[in-house]
Amino acid sequence: MGPARPQRAEGRARVSFRVGLGATRLERLFQEGCAKIRLPIPIDHADPQAILINTAGGLTGGDRLAAEVDLGPQASACVTTQACERVYRSTGTDAVVENRLRLSAGARLAWLPQETILFDGGRLFRRLEADLVGDAELVAVEAILFGRQAMGETLHSGHLYDRWRVRRDGHLIFADDLRVAGDIAALLAPQPAMAGRRAMATVLFAGAAPERFLEPARSIIGPGGGASAWNGKFLARLVEETGLALRRRLEPLLTLLMGGRALPKVWQL
């Protein structure tokens, strides 16, 4: 008998929304393993919300999570997570998180997972695939905290590979790859963009007239990042000393990109 294999967390979740009787309504819900979805009752005619939950309480090497979101024509929804995801020390393999978004014509999705915290020795491969049809609109954010500064944590080892692919009508409109490995604290310290700061986020808006966001967004982002708009896309990078400082800039920026709609209650600190 060989050595016992460590138990690994696996979870898959799928949710779809369709317009019916004049409003966006849940069509299908699937959850398996440690991946759960909760659907709070919308307040003041807000868009439906889906809250993704990892009941394993975090991720480590060999764990796998997958989520799929499907919006029908003209449907509008917001998908977020219950809390920050935590990626703990790995014995050598990656934790894998794969998210797939599908938006039909006229659909509008806010993809707003809360921050991911990478602990010393953690390994994460995260992939976001989004397929948009016609004039579908997407607001998406992914944020990463390299350890918890308040706890005195320093990442001397680790691995992060964050991959984005966004397509409209089958054509690739946005691709982004972030890869950092090894002594992460030492690698980030000399980089002009990071300068040793430990919190960063990528924010994307894909939709009509993204240029209208540039001026107000730059005033929100401040010196710790930048923003640009081109060919139906708005992209912002934010870098801050702490997760709290990052959150304080993300909240008004996302509200701006969402046309003034309120962020989910779980985002309120």
Condensed to tens digits (0 to 9), the pLDDT of residues 127-148 reads 999 999 999 999 999 999 998 7
DSSP assigned state of 46? P
Query: How are strands ordered across the β-sheet holding 159-168?
Result: 23-33, 10-20, 64-71, 95-103, 123-132, 159-168, 171-181
H-type alpha helices, the chain: 184-188, 214-221, 243-257
pLDDT value for 269 = 63
Domain boundaries, the chain: 17-267
Residue whose structure tokens are 């680790």: 158
pLDDT value for 92 = 85
Residue whose structure tokens are 């209650």: 265
DSSP assigned state of 89? B
- Gyration radius of the chain's alpha carbons: 18
Judge whether residue 8 has pLDDT over 80: yes
User: Which contacts qualify for 241-246: CB closer than 8 Å, 24 or more apart?
Assistant: 241/149, 241/197, 241/198, 241/199, 242/149, 242/150, 242/198, 242/199, 243/84, 243/115, 243/117, 243/145, 243/148, 243/149, 243/198, 243/199, 244/269, 245/199, 246/115, 246/143, 246/145, 246/199, 246/200, 246/201
Mean pLDDT, rounded, for 162-173:
98
Judge whether residue 7 has pLDDT over 80: no
pLDDT value for 210 = 97
Tell which residue, 91, 90, 99, has the closest CA to residue 59: 90
Residue 166 φ then ψ, to 5°: -125, 130
